[in-house]
C-alpha cells in the first residue's frame, strides 16, 4: 500500500428507510472498523441521518469519517431542499460526494453546476468526492475519453487557484455508469488504463503538485468478492461502494480483506 491510505467510501444512497436501521447499520460497522489500519473509511448516509450518525459515531467511538451525498453550491438563502457546506461542517461532516451519476441523471446536474459545488466544498474545507464516468447512454460501455476529460476539466475549473486547507483533499471517483448497481465491474486493464488517463488529465489541469495529492478511486459493483482483486490494480487508490455497504457481512469482509494486505 502507498503512504496515502486506501480510501473507502460507503455510499448508502437512499437507504435504509428508518433511523433505527441506520443506527444498527452503523453499529454493525464498529468491530471491523476497530481493526482497520490501512484504509481511510468514510460513510455517506442520507443527510437526514447525519446528525444522529455523528452523535452515534462519537458516543460509540466508531472510527470512520462522515460524508454527505451532495451539497448546495450556494452558501445560504432561498434554495429549498438544499444543504449547505456550513451546515455540513457544523455537523462534523468533512466530505461530500459531488456529481454522482444518479444525481446528474435524475436532476440534470450539469458540469458547470458540479464545478460550483466542488468550489463551494473546497472553500469551506469540505473534501469533494467528484464522480465522473456518467454517460447519457448507460448502455454505452465503450470508454468515452473525451467525455471523461470534459468532466474532470469542467468539474475542476478554477480549482487550481483555491488554497486547500490542510485536512481538505480532492478525490476523483471513476464510476462507469453501466457498472453501478448492476453486478458488473469494468475489467482490470480498463480500470488501470482509465485511472492512468485520469491522473494525466489531473496533472495537466491542476499541475503536478496538486494532482499528486488526489486519490483516484473506482466505483461500480465493488463488493466482498472482488474488492481485494480490484484493490491490486495499478492506479486504484480506493473505492466508492454502494450496495455492498448495506450488508454488515459484506462490509466486514471488504474492510478485513483490505487490512490483511
CB 143 to ligand PGA: min, Å: 17
* Catalytic residue selected from 102, 113, 175, 195: 175
Give the footprint of ligand PGA on residues 7-46 (CB under 6 A).
11
Nearest one of 174, 182, 123, 121 to 148, comparing CA atoms: 174
DSSP 104: H
Give yes or no for residue 181 binding ligand PGA (CB under 6 A): yes
* Catalytic residue selected from 100, 102, 113, 195: 100
Give yes or no for residue 236 binding ligand PGA (CB under 6 A): no
Question: Using the rule CB under 6 A, which residue among 222, 227, 230, 255 binds ligand PGA?
Answer: 222
Give yes or no for residue 128 binding ligand PGA (CB under 6 A): no
Q: Which residue has the closest beta carbon to ligand PGA?
A: 242
CB 35 to ligand PGA: min, Å: 23
φ, ψ (nearest 5 deg) of residue 104: -60, -40
Across the chain, the runs of DSSP E, i.e. the strands, are 6-11, 39-44, 65-68, 95-98, 127-132, 171-174, 215-219, 238-241
Dmax of the chain from CA atoms?
Answer: 49
Give yes or no for residue 242 binding ligand PGA (CB under 6 A): yes
Give yes or no for residue 220 binding ligand PGA (CB under 6 A): yes
Asked if the peptide bond before residue 129 counts as cis, ω within 30 degrees of 0, the response is no
| Catalytic residue list contains 175 | yes
Question: Using the rule CB under 6 A, which residue among 133, 155, 219, 238 binds ligand PGA?
Answer: 219
Nearest CB to ligand PGA, comparing residues 66 and 241: 241
CB 229 to ligand PGA: min, Å: 15
The rounded distance, in Å, linking the Cα atoms of 238 and 227 is 10
The rounded distance, in Å, linking the Cα atoms of 205 and 199 is 10
Nearest CB to ligand PGA, comparing residues 67 and 210: 67
Cα angle value 229/10/176 (rounded, 5°) = 60
| Catalytic residue list contains 100 | yes
Give yes or no for residue 98 binding ligand PGA (CB under 6 A): no
Question: Cell numbers at residue 85, please?
Answer: 457546506
Contact status, residue 214 vs residue 195, Cβ threshold 8 Å: no
Active site residues: 100, 175
Positions that interact with ligand PGA (CB under 6 A):
11, 175, 180-181, 219-222, 240-243
Amino acid at each position: 500500500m502507498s503512504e496515502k491510505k486506501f480510501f473507502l467510501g460507503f455510499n448508502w444512497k437512499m437507504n435504509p428507510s428508518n433511523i433505527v436501521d441506520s443506527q444498527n447499520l452503523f453499529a454493525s460497522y464498529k468491530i471491523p472498523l476497530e481493526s482497520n489500519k490501512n484504509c481511510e473509511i468514510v460513510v455517506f448516509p442520507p443527510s437526514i441521518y447525519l446528525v444522529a450518525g455523528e452523535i452515534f459515531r462519537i458516543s460509540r467511538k466508531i472510527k470512520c469519517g462522515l460524508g454527505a451525498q451532495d451539497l448546495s453550491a450556494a452558501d445560504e438563502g432561498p434554495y429549498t431542499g438544499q444543504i449547505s457546506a456550513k451546515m455540513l461542517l457544523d455537523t462534523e461532516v468533512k466530505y461530500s460526494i459531488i456529481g454522482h451519476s444518479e444525481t446528474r441523471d435524475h436532476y440534470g446536474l450539469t458540469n458547470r453546476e458540479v464545478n460550483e459545488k466542488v468550489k463551494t466544498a473546497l472553500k469551506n474545507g469540505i473534501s469533494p468526492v467528484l464522480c465522473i464516468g456518467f454517460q447519457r447512454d448507460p448502455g454505452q460501455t465503450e470508454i468515452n475519453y473525451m467525455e471523461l476529460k470534459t468532466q474532470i476539466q469542467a468539474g475542476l475549473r478554477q480549482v487550481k487557484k483555491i488554497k486547500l486547507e490542510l485536512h481538505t483533499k480532492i478525490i476523483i471517483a471513476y464510476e462507469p455508469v453501466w457498472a453501478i448497481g448492476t453486478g458488473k465491474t469494468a475489467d482490470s486493464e480498463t480500470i488501470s488504463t482509465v485511472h492512468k488517463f485520469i491522473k494525466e488529465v489531473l496533472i495537466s489541469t491542476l499541475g503536478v503538485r496538486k494532482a499528486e495529492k488526489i486519490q483516484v478511486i473506482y466505483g461500480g459493483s465493488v463488493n466482498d468478492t472482488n474488492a481485494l482483486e480490484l484493490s491490486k490494480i495499478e492506479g486504484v487508490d480506493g473505492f466508492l461502494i454502494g450496495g455492498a455497504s448495506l450488508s454488515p457481512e459484506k462490509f466486514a469482509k471488504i474492510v478485513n480483506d483490505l487490512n490483511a494486505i
